[in-house]
Amino acid sequence: MVKLFCAVVGVAGRAFEVNIDAEKTVGDLRKAIKKENKVKLKNVDAGDLLLFLAKTTTGAWLTEVDVMKGVSDTTGLKLLDSAGTPLHDYGLSKKKLRSEVTKQHRKVKTTPVHVLAKLPDQGQQLGENVQDSLQMQRQTQIEITRLQAEMELVMDVLQHKKSKSYTDRELGRLE
């Protein structure tokens, strides 16, 4: 088992821990992160989470202080993009994460954060919703046009009279 400290991108707050076997996969880690954050990730499917190795290009881990300020940029961080890849292939194993967290680390909040979870792009979701709405609007307009044409045909077939209203007795009478 390996203890990973994780955080959600764009959400200032505390890091949370996930205990998981290093033989487990990225997909398993997504599910574990979702389980640990039922409220924050309430409307997000685990499979839609983007996971990043929280290690900078210099090789330093992001820290709790960074997370408390809010991490919003994942540029330069490694995307854990293969759901079936074991965590140890990304260096997330007990052997590779041997740094001990001391009282001093905890006091100044420099405990390393190993994984960042990013929510699906809300702009992309909004774009998809707008596209869906436009498509529905076009389909509705086509249906309205079809119904209007059908109504015109029905009106042409009906026997006409001067008044636009019909009583039961008058319906079907010729003028």
Q: Is residue 165 part of a domain?
A: no
pTM (whole model) above 0.85? no
* Shared domain check, 135 and 79: no
Q: Is residue 167 part of a domain?
A: no
110-169 pLDDT, tens digit each: 788 899 998 877 444 444 556 667 778 878 888 888 888 888 877 777 765 555 666 666
Cα distances from 81 to residues 49, 52, 86, 89, in angstroms, run 10, 8, 11, 12
Overall domain count for the chain:
2
* Shared domain check, 109 and 67: yes
34-69 pLDDT, tens digit each: 998 887 787 888 888 899 999 888 888 888 888 888
* Shared domain check, 116 and 143: no
Give me the CATH number covering residue 84: 3.10.20.90
* Shared domain check, 106 and 147: no
* Shared domain check, 49 and 128: no
